[in-house]
Structure 1
Amino acid sequence: MKTVQGPEILDTRGDARTLILDSAEDLIAEHGFKGTSTALIAKSAGVAKGLLFYYFPVKSDLLVALMAERLPAMPLDTDRLAIPGDPAAGLIGTLDALNLSDHKSIVLRVILWREADTHPTVRAQLRKFQTGLERDTAAVLRKCLPDIADAERIKACATAWVSAIFSSATDDRLSDLDGLPRRSKEQLKAIAFALAASLRGATAVLAS
């Protein structure tokens, strides 16, 4: 039997590491991290178990790689998303850029939320992702309304917006699990307009 020596030994259908991550993503989303064995992942990927351990020496390395490589790219392009004078459009633009509920990777739609309760590395990644998103959202708002000097109000609106879209993504996942219709995106847009109105009110007060 030939011993696997390194990454040059690949599955004939493509890059073995990618195949392993693809299979891990699907299986962990379906069965959970604890319920998914490395043997099952290797079998699904069509690779030798030894090759899986070459790339990912311990099982948790698979989860770390999925978190690091398959979440939406950050930071956001705040210059492109900012619409001068229209903070609601800026907020909605961040929602569209992230596409949290329909993102092609189930790492974000399912795994991140499910595994954060029990895996410190996932919680750390979620916290990093959330913090970065709040920072970028605040930057978009500042560029939409550069006259607002109240940094705390901007930060509060950014935090509220990120909380709203995270909550919506979680709700979508639960609806999918139960076969129920998702909430309309219009609800999030209404929140964006409400937050924008609060910022516009702050601008009016400062101008008076």
Structure 2
Amino acid sequence: MSATARVPQEERTRAMRQRLMEATVDLLVEKGFSGTTTTLVSERAGVSRGAQLHHFPTKNDLVVAAVAHLTEIRGSDLEAAVARLPEGSGRIEAVVQMLGDHFASPVFTAALELWVAARTDATLHEAVAPLEQRVGRETHRLTVELLGADESVPGVRELVQATLDLVRGLGLANTLGDDARRRRRILKEWSRSLESALARDEKEKP
């Protein structure tokens, strides 16, 4: 087969896999891990069962591939949100609220479904754990950068981690119902405390 004939087939295959990944993530949000079946994924993606099974013979094969896809989405969503952040006054609150929105988004809900399922599924855990660790490190690094925090100052790393733990917890609460108003009030107050603490720590630097 010539290279010219091969490229369109490669593009079709890539597009089909993309649809399968997107359908898997959508169904994880809508129906949870247990309700996400390979049949529903193929129907949602508009892909034949035979084609889907050729690339992903089992549900775990499909979900493991979706984990990597979901990680990319979460990174892209954060990058887009960061680009909209203001400079100057109000930045710390904007950063904290942005993180709160991210962890209350559908992509976090999908990731949460995978965390819970991975707790008792060794194969899934093997795929999910390293990627979640990477996401955690990158999110922490990004938060430090956006807040302009100096983690060499005692207590600052813990403040950053407390911020991330708080937004994750609020994101979890949001899965049981729209908690946006309460979340924003809590994060507004936390932002004030965080800003004061970071400013105090900056003054106390040797």
TM-score (norm 2): 0.71
**What CA deviation, in whole Å up to 9, does each residue of 1:118-160 have, x standing for no partner?**
311334433322222112212233xx36xx5734422111101
Quote how far apart the aligned CAs of 1:112 are: 1.2
Could you tell me which residue of structure 2 aligns to residue 185 of structure 1?
184
* 1:174 corresponding residue in structure 2: 176
Residue range with higher mean Cα deviation, 189-198 or 35-44 = 35-44
Equivalent in the alignment of 2:152: 150
Segment drifting more, 49-58 vs 167-176 = 49-58
**Contact 2:96–2:191 at 8 Å: present in 1 too?**
no
- Alpha-carbon shift at residue 24 of structure 1 (Å): 1.7
Partner of 1:8: 9
Matched, 1:130 2:136: yes
Question: Which residue of the partner structure matches residue 95 of structure 2?
Answer: 93
Count residues in correspondence.
188
Pairwise CA distance, 1:51: 1.2
Cα distance, 1:197 vs. partner?
Answer: 0.8
Partner of 1:112: 111
Residue of structure 2 equivalent to 1:65: 65
Q: Which segment drifts farther, 161-170 or 37-46?
A: 37-46
Deviation, 1:76, is 5.1
SS in 1 for 2:102: coil
Q: Does structure 2 conserve the Cα–Cα contact (< 8 Å) formed by 1:82 and 1:90? A: no
Task: Give me the CA root mean square deviation.
Answer: 3.6
In structure 1, distance between residues paired with 2:197 and 2:79: 23
Which range moves more in the overlay, 48-57 or 68-77? 68-77
Alignment match, 1:164? 166
Q: Which runs of 4+ in 1 moved over 6 A?
A: 77-80
Q: 1:202 matched to which residue of 2? A: 201
Question: What SS does structure 2 have at the residue aligned with 1:23?
Answer: helix
In structure 1, the partner of 2:31 is 31
Question: By percentage of residues, which structure has more helix?
Answer: 2
Q: How far apart are residue 187 of structure 1 and its match?
A: 1.5
The percent of aligned pairs where both chains have the same amino acid is 21
Structure 1: 5+ residue stretches without partners: 1-6
Shift of the 149–161 alpha-carbon distance from structure 1 to 2, 3 Å rule, reads closer
**Counterpart-to-counterpart distance in 2, 1:149 and 1:93:** 17
Matched letter for residue 191 of structure 1: W
SS at match of 2:116: coil
Distance 2:138 2:185 in 1: 25
Does the CA-based 8 Å contact 1:27-1:41 persist in structure 2?
yes
Partner of 2:43: 43
Question: AA paired with 2:191?
Answer: A
Distance 1:175 1:202, change over 3 A: same
Determine if contact 2:67/2:128 at 8 Å carries over to the other structure: yes
Alpha-carbon distance in structure 2 between the residues aligned to 1:154 and 1:37? 44
Say whether the 8 Å CA contact 1:157–1:195 is kept in structure 2. yes
C-alpha spacing 1:199/1:181, structure 2 compared with 1 (3 Å): closer
Q: How far 1:35 moved relative to its partner?
A: 3.2
Structure 2: give runs of 5+ residues left out of the alignment: 1-7, 119-124
Deviation at 1:173, TM superposition (A): 1.3
**1:26-67 Cα distance to aligned partner (Å, 9 max, x none):** 323233323322122212322211211333344223323333
Q: Deviations over 1:142-193 (max 9, x none)?
A: xx36xx57344221111011111111111111124xxx77524132121122
